[in-house]
Structure 1
Amino acid sequence: MVSIRNSAQSVEARILDAAAACILAYGVERTTLTEIARRARVSRPTIYRRWPDIRWVIAELLTLRIAGLLDAVPDAGAGREAMVARVVAVAQHLRGDEVVMSVIHNAPNIAITYITSRLGTSQQILVDALAEAIKAGQSEGSIRAGDAHQMAAMCLLITQSTIQSAQMVADLLDAEALDAELAHSLNGYLKP
């Protein structure tokens, strides 16, 4: 017998999977709750019971994808070089995530909120993870002294800017060069 909790998780997963499929098929701006509901095989009220509107569905989808990438790239231990390698790997995966990049490049009304106005849930997860890694690196001696959360926020800004603007500088920096320059920037910023 399937529990109600597992059933609810399954419905939410189907809705988010359907939202991702719609974003890839139609683009963010043309994705509708009606189409998400059809693909997920649920009613629109089922979606509205979980999220107030499509922006919240997309925000939840992005949070899960970004946090999932952080979990998928293992922590290689304490120290600046290990932390920077992980940040660069997560950034590389995010640049390759079609859904995330579609939102960044094709839905400026959604993306701009998280670029200029406020930290989203996924960004806060990343800042917290970076702050812990920075504290570990400070204890180990490979990261300079300073407020770990402030430094983590700056690392997020550097990395987020690199992800957002990678397409713009693709003729100057291919993916490998972009990763190397991001690592150099972060290492330089964090070095004691």
Structure 2
Amino acid sequence: MMSIRNSEMTVERRILDAAAACILAYGVERTTMTEIARRARVSRPTIYRRWPDVRWVVAELLTLRISGVLEAVPDHGVGREAVVARVVAIADRLRHDDVLMAVLFNAPTLAMVYITERLGTSQQILIDALAEAITAGQRHGSVRAGDPRQMAAMCLLITQSTIQSAQMVAKILDEQALAAELASALNGYLKP
């Protein structure tokens, strides 16, 4: 017998999967609670009990996708090179996440909030993980001195900019060159 909590997780997963499908089919601006409910095979009140509107559903979906990438990319040890390799791998996966890219390029108003105005939950999660890795790298001696959270925030800005603008410079920097240049920039920034 399935527990109530597992059942709730399954319903939430169906709702978020339906939201992702809607974003890919219609874009963020044309995704509605009604369509998400239809695709998830739940009632609209079921969704509204969890999230007040579509933007909150999208925010939760993005947080899960980004934190999922963070969890999926393994940590290969302590030190600057390991930290940089992991950040570059995470950036590569995020650049290839169809839902994230759809939000970034097709919902500029929503995307700009998290680019220029405030940190989202997923950005906070990334900064926390990176600050922890930077602290370990500092103890290891391969990362320069400095406030780990500030350094992590700067690494986030460098990497986020790379993800956002990769399409713009694709004729100059193919995927391999982009990854190599991002690694070079991060290594140079973190090097003692």
**CA RMSD, Structure 1 to Structure 2 (Å):** 0.5
Q: Name the count of aligned residue pairs.
A: 192
Amino acid at match of 1:93: R
Amino acid at match of 1:71: E
Give the match for residue 45 of structure 1: 45
Amino acid at match of 1:188: G
In the alignment, the residues of structure 1 paired with residue 109 and residue 45 of structure 2 have an alpha-carbon distance, to the nearest angstrom, of 25
Structure 1 SS opposite 2:173: coil
Give the match for residue 177 of structure 1: 177
Amino acid at match of 2:177: A
The Cα offsets for residues 100-152 of structure 1, whole Å up to 9 and x where unpaired, read as 00000110111111000111000000000000000000000000000000000
Give the match for residue 86 of structure 1: 86
Deviation of 1:87 after TM superposition, in Å, equals 0.2
Give the match for residue 76 of structure 1: 76
In the alignment, the residues of structure 1 paired with residue 169 and residue 29 of structure 2 have an alpha-carbon distance, to the nearest angstrom, of 25
Structure 1 SS opposite 2:42: coil
Give the match for residue 186 of structure 2: 186
In the alignment, the residues of structure 1 paired with residue 3 and residue 141 of structure 2 have an alpha-carbon distance, to the nearest angstrom, of 49
Amino acid at match of 1:171: K
Give the match for residue 11 of structure 1: 11
Where do 4+ consecutive residues of structure 1 move more than 4 Å? none
Deviation of 1:3 after TM superposition, in Å, equals 1.2
Amino acid at match of 2:52: P
In the alignment, the residues of structure 1 paired with residue 166 and residue 24 of structure 2 have an alpha-carbon distance, to the nearest angstrom, of 20
In the alignment, the residues of structure 2 paired with residue 10 and residue 169 of structure 1 have an alpha-carbon distance, to the nearest angstrom, of 40
Deviation of 1:8 after TM superposition, in Å, equals 0.6
Structure 2 SS opposite 1:50: coil
In the alignment, the residues of structure 2 paired with residue 143 and residue 127 of structure 1 have an alpha-carbon distance, to the nearest angstrom, of 16
Deviation of 1:33 after TM superposition, in Å, equals 0.8
Deviation of 1:28 after TM superposition, in Å, equals 1.5
Deviation of 1:156 after TM superposition, in Å, equals 0.2
In the alignment, the residues of structure 1 paired with residue 106 and residue 49 of structure 2 have an alpha-carbon distance, to the nearest angstrom, of 27
Query: Unmatched 5+ residue regions in structure 1?
Result: none
In the alignment, the residues of structure 2 paired with residue 171 and residue 31 of structure 1 have an alpha-carbon distance, to the nearest angstrom, of 32
Query: Unmatched 5+ residue regions in structure 2?
Result: none
Of all paired residues, the percent bearing the same amino acid is 78
Moved more, 138-147 or 19-28: 19-28
Amino acid at match of 2:120: G
Whether 2:55 is the aligned partner of 1:55: answer yes
Structure 2 SS opposite 1:163: helix
Moved more, 141-150 or 23-32: 23-32
In the alignment, the residues of structure 1 paired with residue 106 and residue 176 of structure 2 have an alpha-carbon distance, to the nearest angstrom, of 24
Amino acid at match of 2:176: E
The Cα offsets for residues 73-103 of structure 1, whole Å up to 9 and x where unpaired, read as 0000100000000000000000000000000
In the alignment, the residues of structure 2 paired with residue 34 and residue 82 of structure 1 have an alpha-carbon distance, to the nearest angstrom, of 45
